[in-house]
Amino acid sequence: MYEIYKQQLSENGFTVIEQVFSADVVNELISLIDNTDTNHPLFRKTADLFAIRRFLNVIPEASPIIFNQQLKNIIHTLFGSDYFTVKSIYFDKPGNSNWFVAWHQDLTISVDQKTEIPGYGPWTVKPDQYAVQPPVDLLENIYTIRIHLDDTTTQNGALKVIPGSHKKGIIRPSSIDLQNTPEVSCEVAKGGIMIMQPLLLHASSRSTNNQNRRVVHIELSNQDLPAGINWAEKL
């Protein structure tokens, strides 16, 4: 059933699967989020963005809703039965947002402490967590699931991606001739998911239609980290 998605993920670095969550389930998640105290230290709220770091730690009631049987089947079929959650973020890009994200790859992982380990670096410090760039082979085994709580289109900042760029290792965006490189806009309906690999070059534009774009971002891996550090959010 999911073989076409597995093939797309391997060849292009991303795939979109619609109708993974019903409207009722999406509304239940939104209600949980709306009823959480926004003064929590892991919340970030500005005019252009509302985000919750360590989303599944802050709102653990969301976990059994998100990991329904269909999503579990997708994970086991596309990734493998040994994958576990290593990072979770919720973000809301308001409809009047002027926020955009330039072309980039997701090159860091979240860990519990800073320890000098060969092949790991540079490091950055964020509230209550450390982020570090690991070796490329570890990044190649991470998958990101983006759960869409709104209809996401080019008008409200759907991700743009460069298919196949995940196969080229670490890329400096400045080295890409973006004018002559095909890109795809990943439009996803409410309740659908986009799956991508961190090394896929991606970007997003400003919103132009005054409609929110709310997404739950979950990263999964099947890799153990070297002695001295642990995944910050292993679930």
Q: Which residues contact 92 (CB under 8 A, 6 or more apart)?
A: 49, 50, 51, 212, 213, 214, 215
Strand 202-204 and strand 193-196: pairing?
A: unpaired
Q: What pLDDT, on the 0 to 100 scale, is given for residue 207?
A: 76
Do the Cβ atoms of 13 and 197 come closer than 8 Å?
yes
List, for residues 142-193, the tens digit of each pLDDT value. 999 999 999 999 888 899 999 999 999 999 888 888 778 889 999 999 999 9
pLDDT at 219 over 90: yes
Do the Cβ atoms of 150 and 27 come closer than 8 Å?
no
Domain architecture of the chain: domains with CATH: 3-221 (2.60.120.620)
CA 39 to chain centre: 23
How many residues can be counted in the chain?
A: 235
d(CA 206, CA 1): 35
Min mean pLDDT across 68-77, 103-112, 126-135, 147-156 is at 126-135
Q: What pLDDT, on the 0 to 100 scale, is given for residue 98?
A: 62
Q: Mean of the per-residue pLDDT values for the chain?
A: 91
